Amino acid sequence: MCRWLGYSGGQVYLEDLLFKPVNNLIDQSLSSRSAETPTNGDGFGVGWYGTRERPGLFRSIRPAWNDFNLRDLAANIQSHLFLAHIRATSLATVQETNCHPFRYGNWLFVHNGEIFGVEKSRRDLLTAVEPKYFENIQGTTDSELMFHLALTFGLETDPPGALARMAGLIEQVSRSHGVEESLWMTLGLTDGSTFYGVRYASDGDAPTLFHSRDMEDLCAFNPALREHFGGAARVLVSEPVGRFQEMWSPVPPGSLVIIRGGEIEIRPFRPAPAPRDA
Amino acid sequence: MCRWLGYSGGQVYLEDLLFKPVNNLIDQSLSSRSAETPTNGDGFGVGWYGTRERPGLFRSIRPAWNDFNLRDLAANIQSHLFLAHIRATSLATVQETNCHPFRYGNWLFVHNGEIFGVEKSRRDLLTAVEPKYFENIQGTTDSELMFHLALTFGLETDPPGALARMAGLIEQVSRSHGVEESLWMTLGLTDGSTFYGVRYASDGDAPTLFHSRDMEDLCAFNPALREHFGGAARVLVSEPVGRFQEMWSPVPPGSLVIIRGGEIEIRPFRPAPAPRDA
Amino acid sequence: MCRWLGYSGGQVYLEDLLFKPVNNLIDQSLSSRSAETPTNGDGFGVGWYGTRERPGLFRSIRPAWNDFNLRDLAANIQSHLFLAHIRATSLATVQETNCHPFRYGNWLFVHNGEIFGVEKSRRDLLTAVEPKYFENIQGTTDSELMFHLALTFGLETDPPGALARMAGLIEQVSRSHGVEESLWMTLGLTDGSTFYGVRYASDGDAPTLFHSRDMEDLCAFNPALREHFGGAARVLVSEPVGRFQEMWSPVPPGSLVIIRGGEIEIRPFRPAPAPRDA
Amino acid sequence: MCRWLGYSGGQVYLEDLLFKPVNNLIDQSLSSRSAETPTNGDGFGVGWYGTRERPGLFRSIRPAWNDFNLRDLAANIQSHLFLAHIRATSLATVQETNCHPFRYGNWLFVHNGEIFGVEKSRRDLLTAVEPKYFENIQGTTDSELMFHLALTFGLETDPPGALARMAGLIEQVSRSHGVEESLWMTLGLTDGSTFYGVRYASDGDAPTLFHSRDMEDLCAFNPALREHFGGAARVLVSEPVGRFQEMWSPVPPGSLVIIRGGEIEIRPFRPAPAPRDA
């Protein structure tokens, strides 16, 4: 089980959310309280939107807790929208190209969970990826594959639809390989302006996803930030971080979260049939 | 351009061939004389047959010249058959899973060269890999793909035929994507008893491959080894190593080299049609 | 808190003790049960005596649990005497030269614990190291410093005395900087034939150290080993490994353990005055 | 021999100087033309002044040419003053703490060259470092030691004097160990506002150092920068980068360069006696 955090709001230093709060994500990488996998030491990554159109990306196979470069970068990089991920794996190799976020153009993508039986379905799913996106696949995770399937199914123009079709294809191909309930996931993704979160599992029992309740809660998370957050800051997390668990509202299973300009919308998420020829 | 060295003979320490000779492979990784790419600093690997059936494998993304673990392991590991590779890439990412040798069961595989236009043909070639071998692909190099195509086409039972069909498929698929002369390579591979080398290019102008001429030459390479080499030691190299260039005999372009029990056989190598449904 | 394991006995593959047993040291690196620091993900190392006089050394900053090279090497390297160490640090940087074991000539050294207030005493202690040993210091840990102080005080000729003088100097220098109870440690060290363990703390409350009780217990640890262990196998561990906690006998605080030819001797350990001019 | 580049001027992206120009520093790390050591593949580092008082630091043991994180960071980080360094070593271990720049408070320091016979003088020189600076030493290079000696001798208040005394002490201690001509160096250092360069060798034959001639030359280096450089941009380099060698003016041996607000001053540099009790 991995963990991730996505932020959207006023411009802050990455460290304000990643390192400064008590019980922050990086501390959790070393010793967490609630997750089944107690350590997330198999690499990490952070992608952020700064002064350029394409987001920046820093990924490393070191445990996040002992990487001094991460500490320095988080102290110096400012962003209004970023995604951070800490990894725990027993499947795909620990290498930078398997660290989240994954990037295509101005899109970033993180994932927690897995495709059950992916060793059976992986080859079929890979061949469903459109050639122009296929070239962008650099690693061997099911997460990166999910991202490129969503791209194939129209992520850049219709994110909710593309995510539904991606989930539909994975369930369909997995069933054809005898895996009835294949998907178990939370997703975080963004094009640099709108921020999407998905919580879904084929069997209904999805991993957790939370959103910050309101600005006051975020200020409790790191009071120094009140002046920076702006009026519209929002955080999505795979598990609660910080000292106050009650600041986090659970996203219901089978949901798509859309955050835009501080507004948060939660819709049902259901897999959709994938296009015929995929 | 990468460089590689394969040894078959009496039991020696890896360092006897990799570190001890003047102008050895590891020194060459830092500053070589004859290759077009003067530095091979994008990782390395060594696979060896020791006391177990499955060969051992040590691969790292560090330049071979500054890796102290390699130095220590080479001083302590003994083998009668090993393959070492130093990498220079401008294409696939520098990560351990892209370092040679690649391994499947008791097979090891190294490659120097490239598939021209592989960004166009890669997806088609991947789908030609049989599912049971597909699961073993961990990286993103054209080299690993070539190995798994050869496995798909019968490497374990008919190595010469499988290598010819692998080359045939790559040329055929590449042509269908508009690349007329796609292959440019030397290969080294072994099942732990027989050692194969291939030198081939679609346009006839293949990268170099050399075999050691006789035992006396190898003893000149590292005199301390005379008593260890046994009567049947042979070395294949992508470029000459050591002080004496004249100890190396060039393998002609379009050749398959087979080394078994000290006997060296050189046959013509020609791509063969790949099976219909591949 | 780090963890370590030392083995002395018949020739075994490293994996027989490091990977094969249930609840082995490498599994513990990811999630341990009894230690205060639940994760040992800040690098690891193993030093072993093989067919050469000088021991081999393999150290890496990766967590032991996700390092594929370690797995392969442990499956291929045989030894009658080895020391393995997994690291957790909040002080010295995570880099290979700070990973244990440390080596000098044919000696290996591992440490769990710390010198309290070492930031105050480090400079004085460093200057007490004899120049010929000083040159061998490559990292910045208090552990490596302790080893080189012991070397300075005669480790190569009088191990028990040198260890006592090393401890004495550290306590004396620390006291001069206002740290009354500075030492808290277990040590494992060997010259390739005799194996030494130390359990000591200035305040009497030392970290744990255990030795295997008898051969039957070790066979319960990994039954496949019965034929390899020889008649005189012994294991020292900083914390119990394996399924059966009762196979481990605690070494009393303030003890020096000496293992030679399967015989185990436990003596009191007390710091001794360091030489005048140190 | 290492290579380095320092920039002072209007705010630019790091990539504008490090990656965009033809024959840039990163390209040179792989294959340089003029240096004696043709490859600088033993790690790299960059320190920059951004929006915080303390400069940011990113250092890695990977060759600069194949590090994707560096590429991304250089594309996203803006600075008006930065120092970049690519390393080639045959002495100190390749580890992040041995990569330049070194940092103390708001100071950054890079070095090319060496202290001859440092294995003899290192221990004496270390003990001359004041305790408060000693704690900041994390690696094992002579370069980091030089920096901390300069700090000990007053770098923060009298940079020219401190550098002279540092050089004086090293020459004096080295002579006491039988090394007559010990220093061979260029240095680059800054407190975030003034930028200093030193070119000096005990025997008069120092490694090269160049400064950019004028703004027009810098615009030829990367025309896209004209609007960003501001009126006062200056670059110091250990060897010429870019297409036009004639844009670089050599700094004479035995010189101290001081760049402040675009003004460049070149003074003689001579070692001075170090304080008595050092």
* Residue B32 pLDDT: 54
Which residue of chain A has the CA closest to C87? A66
Which residue is listed with tokens 């393959």?
Answer: B83
Between the alpha carbon of residue A144 and those of residues A151, B231, C11, the distances in Å are: 11, 52, 44
Bridge partners of A150? none
Contacts for C158 with CB less than 8 Å, ≥ 6 apart: none
Backbone CA torsion sign across D143, D148, D153, D156: positive
State pLDDT tens for residues D133-156: 999 999 999 999 999 999 999 999
Rounded to two decimals, the ipTM of the complex is 0.91
* Residue B109 pLDDT: 98
B263 Cα to chain A: minimum distance (Å): 39
State pLDDT tens for residues D8-32: 999 999 999 999 888 888 888 886 5
- Count of pairs with CB atoms under 8 A, one residue in A, one in D: 45
Bridge partners of C120? none
Q: Check: CB of residue C259 under 8 Å from CB of residue C80.
A: no
Give the lowest-confidence range in A143-147, B191-195, C95-99, C178-182. Answer: C95-99
Is residue A198 scored above 70 in pLDDT?
Answer: yes
Taken as a whole, chain A contains a residue count of: 278
Selected residue of A61, A66, A90 to mutate for chain C interface (largest C Cβ count, 10 A): A66
Radius of gyration of chain A (CA): 17
State pLDDT tens for residues D48-78: 999 999 999 999 999 888 999 999 999 999 9
- C-alpha angle A257/A258/A262, rounded to 5°? 120
* Residue C89 pLDDT: 81
Is residue B164 scored above 60 in pLDDT?
Answer: yes
* Residue B90 pLDDT: 66
* Residue B152 pLDDT: 97
Which residue of chain A has the CA closest to B60? A95
State pLDDT tens for residues D228-260: 766 678 999 998 888 878 889 999 999 999 999
Q: Check: CB of residue D198 under 8 Å from CB of residue D163.
A: yes
Is residue B47 scored above 50 in pLDDT?
Answer: yes
Query: Which of A21 and B111 is assigned the larger pLDDT?
Result: B111
Our measurement of the distance from residue D97's CA atom to the centroid of its chain's CA atoms, rounded to an integer in Å, reads 15
Give the lowest-confidence range in A250-264, B54-68, C5-19, D205-219. Answer: D205-219
What's the DSSP call for residue B275? P
State pLDDT tens for residues A216-248: 777 777 877 777 766 678 999 998 888 878 889
End-to-end CA distance of chain A: 29
State pLDDT tens for residues C192-245: 999 999 999 999 999 999 999 877 777 777 887 777 766 678 999 999 888 878
CA dist., res. A263 & res. B256, Å (int): 66
- C-alpha angle D118/D124/D130, rounded to 5°? 115
* Residue C214 pLDDT: 76
Query: Which of B247 and C173 is assigned the larger pLDDT?
Result: C173
Is residue D186 scored above 50 in pLDDT?
Answer: yes
Bridge partners of D47? D57, D83
CA dist., res. D49 & res. D77, Å (int): 10
Taken as a whole, chain C contains a residue count of: 278
User: What tokens appear for D254 in the block?
Assistant: 């035995």
DSSP codes of every residue in A108-153: EEEEEEEETTHHHHHHHHHHTS-HHHHTT--S--HHHHHHHHHHHT
Peptide bond into A101 cis (omega under 30): yes
CA dist., res. B92 & res. A169, Å (int): 29
Q: What percent of chain C has pLDDT over 90?
A: 72
Q: Is D31 within 8 Å of B42 when comparing Cβ atoms? A: no
State pLDDT tens for residues A56-80: 999 999 988 899 999 999 999 999 9
Is residue B214 scored above 80 in pLDDT?
Answer: no
Per-residue pLDDT, averaged over B72-101, amounts to 91
CA dist., res. D188 & res. D253, Å (int): 14
* Residue A35 pLDDT: 46
pLDDT band for B45, please (50, 70, 90 cuts): very high
Largest CA distance in chain B: 54
In 3-state terms chain B splits into helix, strand, coil percentages (rounded to 5) of 30, 30, 40
pLDDT band for C6, please (50, 70, 90 cuts): very high
Q: With contacts defined as CB-CB under 8 Å, which chain B residues touch C78?
A: 51
Stated pTM of the model: 0.92
Which residue is listed with tokens 């590891």?
Answer: B26
State pLDDT tens for residues C133-170: 999 999 999 999 999 999 999 999 999 999 999 999 99
In B194-268, beta strands by DSSP E: 195-201, 210-212, 234-237, 248-250, 255-260, 263-268
* Residue B92 pLDDT: 75
Selected residue of B123, B126, B129, B141 to mutate for chain A interface (largest A Cβ count, 10 A): B123
pLDDT band for D99, please (50, 70, 90 cuts): very high
Q: With contacts defined as CB-CB under 8 Å, which chain B residues touch A123?
A: 126-127, 129, 131, 134
Is residue C38 scored above 80 in pLDDT?
Answer: no
* Residue D35 pLDDT: 47
Is residue A277 scored above 80 in pLDDT?
Answer: no
Per-residue pLDDT, averaged over B137-142, amounts to 92
Residue D207's nearest CA partner among D253, D264, D270 is D253
Q: Check: CB of residue B80 under 8 Å from CB of residue B10.
A: yes
What dihedral angle (degrees, nearest 10) is formed by the CA atoms of B134, B135, B140, B144?
A: -60
Amino acid at B7: Y
Q: Check: CB of residue A96 under 8 Å from CB of residue A61.
A: yes
Neighbours of chain A (3+ CB pairs under 8 A): B, C, D
Is residue C250 scored above 70 in pLDDT?
Answer: yes
pLDDT band for D90, please (50, 70, 90 cuts): low
Give the lowest-confidence range in A79-93, C26-40, D118-132. Answer: C26-40
* Residue D37 pLDDT: 55
Averaged confidence pLDDT in chain D: 91
